[in-house]
Structure 1
Amino acid sequence: MNITDRTIFIPGATSGIGRALALAFAERGNTVIVGGRRTELIDELRRSHPAIDGVVIDVADAASVQRAADEVIARHPDLDTVVAMAGIMAAEDWTSPAGFLASAERTVETNLLGPIRLIGAFIEHLLTCPDATIVTVSSGLAFTPLRVTPSYNATKAAIHMLSESLRLQYEGTSVGIVELVPPAVQTDLLPGHAENPQALPLEAFVAEVMGILEREPDVREVLVDRVRFLRHGEARGDYDEVVRMVNATDPHGQR
């Protein structure tokens, strides 16, 4: 994935990793369109960064996704990159339905169906581009589970396998799949997580991501150094120890 001269849509870019990536891409001269549920956050971002466009989108609402896609393509017909950034995370207690069912349904709706809907809304357009990219966002927790966030772990594991499968389906087309695999990053994904000293500072994470993309334009998985411990535990043969360490030292979760 080249990271200059692109037109990039990033839903879920009004805060956290999505916002930081949007600014980083815009600083490199790309055309960036952010998406989010809250109009005031989109307007604030557009006022402070006039080169960035924005649309309202709720990835948990299929009609909203299609409306946003139609609007983005109409205003930016040269769109060639979609970053499926939106996601939620919640602690759950699976010992009773009251402790997890509603949260699990919301998490699957946003984290898994959301990216599926985005791809469905944009894929016909992207297939007409000479060089297009879909960026999926999984997590280190797709490979090493955190005890308190079962649904989040599961949706991110599904995103990883979806990315692998789509890469096979789009082979021979103009559409490439890049999977971003964050570790714990200091964002508000969970309450208090932005101050978690065990998490990677947001600015450092995004700087490392952009460096990887610059050095490795054909990269399939974007793995910052901090996430390799989680990503490769099973391959190294120390998976059980990695699971133990993650659940002993990080009660707040990972992105």
Structure 2
Amino acid sequence: MHTTGNTLLVTGGGSGIGLELAKAFLALGNEVIIAGRREAVLQQGVADTPGLKYVVLDVSDAQDIQRVTQTLLRDHPALNGVLHAAGIMRGESLKVGATELEDTVATNLMGPMRLDSLLVPHFLQQPNATIITVSSGLAFLPLALTPSYSATKAAIHSYSQSLRYQLKDTNIRVHEIAPPYVQTELMGERQANDPHAMPLREFIDEVMGIFQHAPEADEILVERVKPLRFAERGEDYAGFFTRFNDQMAAARESEG
């Protein structure tokens, strides 16, 4: 992608990876609009980072996506990029039913797909445009403790591949960022302070370095996610899957 001179919408932009990527792209000379459900959080992000703009958007709500997109395209006709960072990740026990299924699928999968369907016709009219989706290393090696989340990330990876192929002869570039386990509040304060997770600042710096030095890369992969991303290429995927999930389950149990 062109890393400067864009008008970029960042969903899930009120906190975590979304907010920090929004700040990084703003610093490179882009106009950046952060979006999320909680207006107070968005207002705080804008107050802390002069130059950011915001719009309230619930990506799990099809009607809200339709309404907000119409307003965005009216108020920001130069809009030529979207970064899908909104996400829900919650633990689930499939013995009692995937209780978070509806919200997780609506936010992590249907939200980006619906938003893209409305933005692509507009993007095709721009000199250049970009669609960036934040998936996860768990798209390639699922965490059994979070089955709905892992499944939606595998699905959004598949969708991104198809979208990239269909747009390959157009002005729109399609990128996928697959984070490892990062210090954010995606699963609460424990994750944000977990020393086993990749520091958020370190993750953002590495991602932006890839964008700037390898702007044509389809997948934006920091070094710490590569064991997950390429797990299926190993000779013992089933063993790796079991060991990974046993370790994660044991760590969760030890926390009480």
Task: Give the deviation of 1:236 after TM superposition.
Answer: 2.8
Match of 1:24 in 2: 24
Q: Secondary structure of the residue that 2:131 maps to in structure 1?
A: strand
Match of 1:196 in 2: 194
Match of 1:69 in 2: 69
Give CA deviations for 1:197-236 in whole Å, capped at 9, x if unaligned: 1110000000000000001010000000000000001113
| Paired residues for 1:137-156 under 5 Å | 137-156=134-153
Give CA deviations for 1:101-144 in whole Å, capped at 9, x if unaligned: x3111111111111111102211111111111100111100000
Structure 1 residue 111 corresponds to structure 2 residue 114: no
Equivalent residue for 1:184, pick from 166, 181, 184 = 181
Match of 2:119 in 1: 122
- Identity between Structure 1 and Structure 2 (%): 44
Task: Give the deviation of 1:50 after TM superposition.
Answer: 2.6
Q: Secondary structure of the residue that 2:100 maps to in structure 1?
A: helix
Q: Secondary structure of the residue that 1:189 maps to in structure 2?
A: coil
Equivalent residue for 1:217, pick from 210, 215, 218 = 215
Match of 1:35 in 2: 35
TM-score by length of 2: 0.94
**CA–CA distance in 1 between the matches of 2:122 and 2:238?**
43
Task: Give the deviation of 1:241 after TM superposition.
Answer: 3.5
Give CA deviations for 1:80-112 in whole Å, capped at 9, x if unaligned: 110111110011111123xx2x31111111111
RMSD (CA atoms)? 1.4
Amino acid at match of 1:39: E
Q: Secondary structure of the residue that 1:178 maps to in structure 2?
A: strand
**CA–CA distance in 2 between the matches of 1:209 and 1:181?**
10
Equivalent residue for 1:172, pick from 154, 169, 173 = 169
Q: Does structure 2 retain, via aligned residues, the 8 Å contact 1:84–1:118?
A: no
Structure 2 stretches of 5 or more lacking a match?
A: none
Amino acid at match of 2:139: A
Match of 1:88 in 2: 88
Structure 1 stretches of 5 or more lacking a match?
A: none
Give CA deviations for 1:148-187 in whole Å, capped at 9, x if unaligned: 1111110000000001111111121111110110010000
Amino acid at match of 1:198: H
**CA–CA distance in 2 between the matches of 1:246 and 1:198?**
14
Match of 2:154 in 1: 157
How many pairs were matched up? 250
**CA–CA distance in 2 between the matches of 1:205 and 1:250?**
21
Q: Secondary structure of the residue that 1:250 maps to in structure 2?
A: helix
Equivalent residue for 1:132, pick from 113, 118, 129 = 129
Match of 2:6 in 1: 6
Q: Secondary structure of the residue that 2:82 maps to in structure 1?
A: strand
**CA–CA distance in 2 between the matches of 1:180 and 1:238?**
25
